[in-house]
Amino acid sequence: MKTFNQASGQPMDRVDGPLKVTGQARYAAEYPEDGLLYGSVVSSTIARGRVINIDSSAALAVPGVRLVLDHRNRPRLASDDENYADADSADGSPFRPLYNDRVLYSGQPLALVVAESLELARYAGSLLRIDYQQEDHQTDLLAVLDPAHPAPAETPKPRGDFNGQLANAAFSIDATYCTVNQHHSPMEPHASTVFYKDDGGLEIHDKNQGPQNCQDYLHKIFAMPKDKIRILTAYVGGAFGSGLRPQYQLPLAVMAALQLKRSVRVTLTRQQMFTFGYRPRTVQRLRLGADAAGRLVAVGHDAIGQTSRFEDFTEHLVEWSGMLYQCDNVALSYKLAPLDVYTPLDMRAPGAASGMIALECAMDELACAAKLDPVQLRRINFAQNNGNEAKPYSSKELLACYDQGAERFGWHKRNAEPRSMRKDHQLIGWGMAGGVWEAMQMKASAKARLDAEGRLTVSSATTDIGTGTYTVMTQIAADAAGIMPRDVTFVLGDSSLPTAPLQGGSFTVSSVGSAVREACLVIRAKVLQAARDHYPELADIPAEEVGFGDGYVHFGDQRLAIADIVANCPGGVLEVQIDTEPNKQREGYATATHSAVFVEVQVDEDLGSIKVSRVVSAVAAGRVINPKTARSQILGGVVWGLGMALQEEAQTDHRLGRVLNHSLAEYHIPVSADIGDIEVIFVEENDDIVNELGSKGVGEIGIVGVASAVANAIYHATGKRVREFPITLDKVL
């Protein structure tokens, strides 16, 4: 069958845009109900110890206060006897709020005050008196590097003779790079509005990246039937990984609602947004060896990351060093250092954003040692296969990324000598780096329903965290069914919908999109069969000569409205639900997105201040469903990468074990004044192996490599190699 209209591949405006810009889109803390109660979380002020006593008498004496929950009076839970993990949990014992008197980290929730207004709840919370038995704590990764233990991660085994080849290399690099804790800091704080129903059921508006994960979590810890718990997540004001796991406001709000048999809302403050998962601090040693021609003969990447004492958080931190470039002698290791902190959490391009800083800065240092152009060094070491898996890539247009990015940037004009390019008092530096992110696909389901008015409704329990899911699923559905995008409605963010994975890892389009496409193709086949049943002139026309598009079935020079065909079906409706999973042909291949990032910096020779004036990001991500929203994803990733390079740092007072700059006033992230010109290039890449859509996803790849490209540009401008991030002006001076 032919397809006439083609929405995919076109820069379509966001279908949810008008609701967001007019304020009609409601977020988790914006759903009203008469009699709604409000909860305020009271957090610990010490990093480790025990709670001796909580005096809540003054708080309970405040008119309008309905409840003070703490570890002594909270309801008994199914999770009291067992550890119940969620879909994104780390190895170990997941944190359980108000579980007992133990204080595991500074900022831990110790009580929930529930009152008739948020102001009352917060005021009453300030009246609580908490006595502690304080214990010695440790929150500094650099103080516990030696006792770090191997991470329970699938780190690739060593291959070849790393030590021998490194010792005999013509050029070698041995450098250590440090990254800091970074917090997600989305615009919308985490919140849960729990509507208590007459039958004891719960309807919950929650900020998360997987409503079914949250439903399953509550089902386990409260021993409630799943059909009594409905999680709704229609709109999410940014998440970047912070909503992959249920955050502690959700079980606290449910505890209060069940105890009071009332509807309750709990919203975290901006300061409390710094009291759960984050990108973990790392110390990474890179050892590279190359022969006289610049070919890598040895790659060693040893990393230590921080974790909590109750869970071993792992991410793909070192694997990239064994797969991005061709090398037969590779040694990778990854260790964890437990601290008195909350467990880290996946954060945009988890592992790759940090690990690629070390690899790509080391590659730049190797290029300088071998007196090779940084792009040329990477070309020499281009890998057709993923060395970790010993598999060829399904597609890899990284060389084209180098070519197109360098040409657009004007890389051929670069003078390789550090401090050789300047404009007045500004030292000009040009740097570049490569990027890689895995192209994954998960099992997913979708339901499609076509009615007699030609309206197609497609649904799946995924979310839209600002990435454009509503829009790209509309485009995919419209193409597959032959319907105009304006006649398609995509429904998401509801735990009662067909199964979908967490939205993360850049796999939503490949996973949910594949299910949407398949469901709509089945609907299209049903439409054709119904047309043959009711219109004799179609009966003998071969399927390949029948076309679908613009809401019509086309054959020869004639067409039939799809709406009219469906109107003749029983009930005037066609409906189907489909389950999909990765195809078998993927198993023989490695799948990944790639990029090349080129950066220009200006460094004031007297002040050391740094300005990124230009960025060109060339990305190969298979078929891009919506270039407009995809470009926005890359732009956002680049901006975040600039923050990683120059600004973002959660500063901890290790004497207190507490984050000091826990606000958007002092936790520095890039603003408009920090951003110069950013150009995004989508390199053509055809891949019929990765999935039926040929799409690899763009949510993560935009940030990977940006920070290292900035660091490399700063070295080129100043001649000073800074290996501790962020690169603030004091380090440059």
Neighbours of 522 (CB within 10 A): 18
Q: What is the rounded distance in angstroms from the CA atom of residue 1 to the CA atom of residue 14?
A: 29
Q: What is the pLDDT of residue 619?
A: 98
| Architecture per CATH, 2-23+442-581 | 2-Layer Sandwich (3.30)
Q: Residue 251, preceding bond cis, omega within 30 degrees?
A: no
One-character DSSP codes across 138-183: ---GGGSSTT-EE-SS-PPPPBS-HHHHHHT-SEEEEEEEEE--B-
CA distance 248 to 70: 13
- CATH 3.90.1170.50 location in the chain: 37-136+187-239+243-274
The CATH topology of domain 37-136+187-239+243-274 is: Aldehyde Oxidoreductase; domain 3 (3.90.1170)
Nearest to 625 by CA among 462, 448, 478: 478
pLDDT score at 475: 98
Residues carrying an active site annotation: 700
Contact between 346 and 459 under an 8 Å Cβ cutoff? The reply is: no
* Rounded Cα–Cα distance for residues 357 and 284 (Å): 9
Listed in order, the ranges of the chain carrying CATH 3.30.365.10 are 2-23+442-581, 282-440+587-732
Supply the pLDDT for residue 648: 97
Question: Which of helix, strand or coil describes residue 294?
Answer: coil
- Distance CA(722)–CA(732), nearest Å, equals 7
Q: Closest by alpha carbon to 353, among 492, 603, 179?
A: 179
- Low pLDDT (below 70) residues in the chain: 1-5
Q: What is the DSSP string of 204-236?
A: EEE--S-HHHHHHHHHHHH---GGGEEEE-S--
**pLDDT score of 84:** 81
Q: What are the beta bridge partners of residue 681?
A: 618
- What is the side-by-side order of every strand in the sheet holding 149-150? 149-150, 330-339, 296-308, 282-290, 171-179
- Domain 282-440+587-732: which CATH class? alpha beta
